[in-house]
Structure 1
């Protein structure tokens, strides 16, 4: 297996974990904060979609997807800090966008060579993400950075252990 296939497998695994934690939540539960200091699943999924799309565009302009009008701004750090809550979508709509941005990531990953991974990454990212490869790893694993926040919510709601 080559590096880009491993990146796709990592993306698939992290997406499966995240969706497994969220797929049995009701629309109302999807809007509950995941815990103290956390945001609801709808906000977190919007953030994951928007940030993945931004990173894809940074790696190769045109490789992302067109998001709904104002979507990226609604799930930005600036909006979060201003306390503005987005007009949340239905859970199924987030899953459609999540699947579409992941498909765009898979397509880009599989078009890359291993030599591409050593190239400098796009500007504007923290120093730990200085190469194309580090951005690919971030895109693939970013959902896992959020997935753990949903376990306490699931336990509080009495949901079964899924993974």
Structure 2
């Protein structure tokens, strides 16, 4: 396996572990809370992380496959894409179970497929956004950075919900 893939896998696993630690003690009743005028909620953060990980780690690397619709519907991608506005009404969002299932399934699929990517795939140029390199490898690096950026927002939301910081 390419050393670059090993680096990306470790970064993705670290980012996901940290994100999950932030969510571990937050009840589903708080997933759509937007405390103190904050313009986002936990459910949107999770949906957005899933959508971005799909885009950066799967779609950019190998295009869309027929199986991808089982990972994430096109309506899910649109609702949680960059520039979308978090919808505060739970009834206008996918159910929490679907958000969580998509969040987990996309991550697992990325971890499964990453070891199959070749050096040629990693070295292929890509458009922004990416981290460090304007290549598919840079896109993969961005996935963990992006998740950690949103983990910071999740951390703020949990504090506004009265939770203690995670150490």
TMscore range, shorter length: 0.7 to 0.9
Number of positions where the alignment pairs a residue of Structure 1 with one of Structure 2? 160
1:68 corresponds to which of 69, 73, 88: 73
Structure 1: give runs of 5+ residues left out of the alignment: none
Q: 1:85 to 1:158 in 2, by over 3 A?
A: closer
Residue 110 (structure 1) aligns with: 115
Structure 1 position 37, deviation (Å): 4.5
Matched, 1:89 2:94: yes
Identify the residue that residue 33 of structure 1 maps to in structure 2.
Answer: 34
Secondary structure, in 3 states, of the residue corresponding to 1:31? coil
- Relative to 1, partners in 2 of residues 1:140 and 1:42: Cα closer, same or farther, differing over 3 Å? same
Q: TM-score, normalised by structure 1?
A: 0.80
Of 138, 151, 156, the match for 2:155: 151
Range with greater deviation from structure 2 (99-108 or 83-92): 83-92
* 1:58 aligns with one of 52, 57, 60: 60
Distance change in 2, residues 1:107/1:26 (3 Å): same
2:19–2:151 contact (8 Å) kept in structure 1: yes
d(CA) in 1 for partners of 2:3, 2:62:
20
With structure 2 as the length reference, what TM-score do the two structures score? 0.78
Q: How far is the alpha carbon of 1:118 from its aligned partner?
A: 2.4
